[in-house]
């Protein structure tokens, strides 16, 4: 039986999924991890990367053995991970700095200069902004850079020896030229012009990984790479890999949102909406990223660094209180209670406002965050209202960005497909999101699987698709033809309640700024 392996390294969990030829899940495994804030940067150590990958793979194999009593026949592998960030290596593959993740907001000067030079929005998260900021900072390692990549690209390289990225992941490293399906040559030239005075010894094109179209053969698993994933030696080399992709691209695949006027919203540690466009935007918006689907189509991305981390912290506190009272419950039950309570709250949150900024938030101009809760003296401070406002906070910054696209660019969305942790509790996150964005929000049964399933689908496509079969046709006709899903349309009372909350939220940002400056 052929199977396809997808592994995605998310912000809080590394997840491995093995799917059958009918795209159902045969086995899965995972490993929980967290970023660290060290020396002024959010980071993960590469030792933790490999330890987590091995744990995820081992638990997946255990799951498969329990069901099928044998080691799986893996026909293709796909690797996905958090996009953007700064991973640079010298000519001997030595890591030059600790991994600087997408969560850092330390590249404002570089992002501003590059955006002006390119006439194209370069967010602080993007790899090119990290590179240029290191140059502006005069960091001594810069001239030693031989290779820059993303987390997915790094793992793919170590498994195959191939320096490559899928188009979606590559589009968050450096802008792509849609007609060429490659890095934009004019902007590459402008970058090199900017670095002349710094006497940089390399051209940016020379340190970039190849940008590959979806479905391409991106190399084969080497024997050394197999041992990195599976030290037991049961996994053998020779298995082909599809191009590595970023979590945005795999989210689009997992929700079948890669055609124009489709979109998805991924909500977990961060929250972002991906809207596939019918036309390019009329101008540059600093709040909006322009990336691509894995097929190279233009996508407007509203990305917010902060989503459920603050809510998770409050859930933990309530769980500790319940445990001290002798209650017995699972983590899933606790989350279900908290999410469901939010549906019982006042439509506007009852006069409570939460700001969930654990880290900085570029869209609203914050370099750092300070989670806070503010309430009016006449607020109705109940559990339903409190949990509702915590979840509202997770959606508020996204709404600010989405309004730019809808109000200024008249972007049309038939519906948004939701996936990620916020949608795991049935109906709760979906209902609140539909009201917050005033857009129908659909959730598929596979929503909880997210990007690991998405990259497994891309591995299956690379192995199965016929010569003239597009990814869109493959997903429509083979993967999602009979998929079950629920769609919730926005309720007028929810919409007006969230709009009232959002006005208070925007006002409370002044309090958030004071907290950052003084605490």
Say what angle helices 331-342 and 428-437 make with each other, to 10 degrees.
40
Q: Is the pLDDT of residue 475 over 80?
A: yes
pLDDT score of 485: 83
Considering only 427-436, 440-449, 478-487, which range has the smallest mean pLDDT? 440-449
pLDDT score of 93: 97
Mean pLDDT in residue range 347-369: 95
The Cα–Cα gap between 391 and 373 comes to: 12
If you compute the radius of gyration of the chain from its CA atoms, what whole number of angstroms results?
22
Cβ–Cβ contacts within 10 Å for residue 313, how many? Answer: 13
Return the DSSP state at 196. G
Class of domain 309-446+489-518: alpha beta
Mean pLDDT in residue range 209-216: 96
Token couple for 105: 């907001």
The Cα–Cα gap between 226 and 154 comes to: 15
- Considering 158-162, 286-290, 415-419, the range whose residues carry the highest mean pLDDT is 158-162
pLDDT score of 260: 85
pLDDT score of 477: 93
Considering only 82-91, 142-151, 280-289, 453-462, which range has the smallest mean pLDDT? 280-289
pLDDT score of 266: 86
Q: Is the pLDDT of residue 144 over 90?
A: yes
pLDDT score of 446: 57
Nearest 5°: phi and psi at 140? -70, -20
Neighbour order of strands in the sheet with 289-292: 289-292, 298-304, 271-276, 263-267, 416-419, 441-444, 485-488
Secondary structure element (H or E) that encloses residue 481, with its range: none
Judging by beta carbons within 10 Å of its beta carbon (0-12, 13-18, 19+), is residue 466 exposed, middle or buried?
Answer: exposed
Quick one: which of 384, 396, 432, 364 has its CA closest to 505?
396
Q: For strands 263-267 and 271-276, give the pairing.
A: antiparallel
For residue 304, what are the β-bridge partners? 271
Could you give the 3-state DSSP secondary structure of residue 382? coil
CA 5 to chain centre: 19
The Cα–Cα gap between 280 and 285 comes to: 12
Instruction: Return left, alpha or beta for 296; rule: phi > 0 is left, psi -120 to 50 is alpha, else beta.
Output: left
Boundaries of every domain in the chain: 309-446+489-518
pLDDT score of 449: 58
The better pLDDT of the pair 497, 286 is held by 497
Q: Is the pLDDT of residue 181 over 80?
A: yes
pLDDT score of 362: 86
Q: Is the pLDDT of residue 332 over 90?
A: yes
CA 219 to chain centre: 24
The better pLDDT of the pair 511, 443 is held by 511
The Cα–Cα gap between 133 and 137 comes to: 6
Reported as a single tens digit per residue, the pLDDT across 62-89 is: 999 999 999 999 999 999 999 999 999 9
Structure pTM? 0.81
Reported as a single tens digit per residue, the pLDDT across 94-128 is: 999 999 999 898 999 999 999 999 999 999 999 99
Q: What is the average pLDDT value for the chain, to the nearest integer? A: 94
Reported as a single tens digit per residue, the pLDDT across 271-306 is: 989 999 988 888 999 889 899 999 998 899 998 999
Cβ–Cβ contacts within 10 Å for residue 362, how many? Answer: 21
pLDDT score of 467: 80
Token couple for 465: 């698709």
Could you give the 3-state DSSP secondary structure of residue 193? helix
Q: Is the pLDDT of residue 1 over 90?
A: no
pLDDT score of 424: 85
Determine contact, residues 250/454, Cβ cutoff 8 Å: yes
Mean pLDDT in residue range 233-258: 94
Secondary structure element (H or E) that encloses residue 504, with its range: helix 492-518
Nearest 5°: phi and psi at 201? -90, -5
Determine contact, residues 13/35, Cβ cutoff 8 Å: no
Helices (H), 245-382: 247-254, 309-324, 331-342
Q: Which residues contact 375 (CB under 8 A, 6 or more apart)?
A: 351, 352, 353, 381
Determine contact, residues 168/245, Cβ cutoff 8 Å: yes
Quick one: which of 336, 247, 353, 238 has its CA closest to 291?
247
The better pLDDT of the pair 350, 286 is held by 350
Determine contact, residues 515/364, Cβ cutoff 8 Å: no
pLDDT score of 447: 52
Label residues 147-166 b or e (16+ Cβ within 10 Å = b).
bbbbbbbbbbbbbbebbbbb
**What are the angstrom distances between the C-alpha of 43 and each of 35, 81, 205?**
5, 14, 26
**What are the angstrom distances between the C-alpha of 309 and each of 219, 355, 357, 372?**
36, 11, 9, 13
Helices (H), 288-437: 309-324, 331-342, 383-403, 409, 428-437
């Amino acid at each position: 039986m052929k199977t396809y392996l997808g592994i995605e390294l998310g912000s809080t969990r590394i997840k491995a999924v093995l799917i059958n030829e009918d795209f159902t899940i045969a086995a899965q495994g995972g490993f929980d991890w967290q970023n660290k804030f060290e020396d002024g940067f959010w980071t993960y150590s590469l030792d933790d990367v490999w330890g987590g990958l091995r744990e995820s793979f081992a638990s997946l194999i255990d799951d498969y053995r329990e069901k099928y009593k044998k080691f799986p026949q893996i026909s293709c592998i796909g690797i996905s991970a958090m996009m953007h960030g700064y991973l640079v290596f010298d000519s001997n593959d030595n890591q030059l700095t600790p991994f600087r993740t997408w969560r850092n907001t330390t590249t404002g000067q570089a992002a501003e200069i590059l955006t002006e030079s390119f006439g194209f929005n370069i967010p602080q998260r993007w790899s090119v902004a990290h590179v240029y900021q290191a140059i502006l900072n005069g960091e001594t390692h810069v001239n030693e850079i031989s290779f820059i990549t993303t987390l997915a690209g790094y793992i793919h390289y170590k498994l195959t020896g191939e320096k490559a990225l899928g188009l979606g992941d590559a589009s968050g490293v450096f802008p792509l030229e849609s007609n060429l399906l490659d890095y934009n040559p004019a902007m590459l030239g402008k970058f090199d012009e900017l670095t002349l005075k710094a006497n940089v010894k390399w051209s940016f094109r020379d340190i970039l990984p190849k940008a590959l179209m979806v479905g391409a053969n991106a190399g084969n698993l080497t024997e050394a790479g197999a041992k990195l994933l599976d030290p037991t030696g049961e996994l053998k080399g020779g298995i082909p890999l599809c191009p590595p992709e970023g979590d945005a691209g795999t989210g689009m695949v997992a929700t079948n949102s890669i055609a124009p006027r489709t979109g998805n919203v991924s909500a977990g540690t961060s929250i972002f909406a991906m809207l596939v466009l019918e036309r390019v935007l009329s101008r540059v918006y600093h709040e909006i990223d322009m990336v691509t689907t894995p097929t190279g189509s233009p996508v407007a991305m509203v990305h917010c660094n902060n989503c459920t981390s603050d809510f998770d912290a409050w859930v933990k506190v309530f769980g500790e209180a319940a445990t001290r009272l002798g209650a017995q419950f699972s983590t899933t039950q606790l989350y279900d209670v908290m999410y469901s309570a939010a549906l019982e709250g006042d439509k506007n949150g009852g006069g409570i406002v939460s700001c969930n900024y654990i880290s900085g938030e570029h869209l609203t101009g914050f370099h750092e965050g300070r989670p806070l809760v503010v309430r009016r003296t006449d607020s109705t401070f109940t559990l339903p209202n409190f949990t509702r406002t915590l979840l509202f906070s997770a959606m508020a910054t996204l709404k600010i960005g989405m309004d730019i696209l809808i109000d200024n660019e008249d972007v049309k969305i038939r519906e948004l497909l939701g996936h990620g942790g916020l949608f795991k509790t049935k109906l709760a996150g979906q209902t609140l999101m539909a009201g917050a964005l005033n857009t129908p929000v659909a959730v598929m049964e596979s929503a909880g699987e997210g990007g690991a399933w998405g990259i497994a689908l891309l591995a299956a496509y690379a192995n199965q698709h016929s010569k003239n079969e597009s990814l869109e046709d493959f997903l429509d006709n083979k993967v999602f033809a009979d998929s079950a899903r629920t769609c919730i349309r926005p309720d007028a009372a929810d919409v007006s309640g969230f709009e009232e909350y959002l006005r208070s939220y925007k006002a409370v940002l002044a309090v958030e700024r004071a907290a950052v400056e003084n605490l």
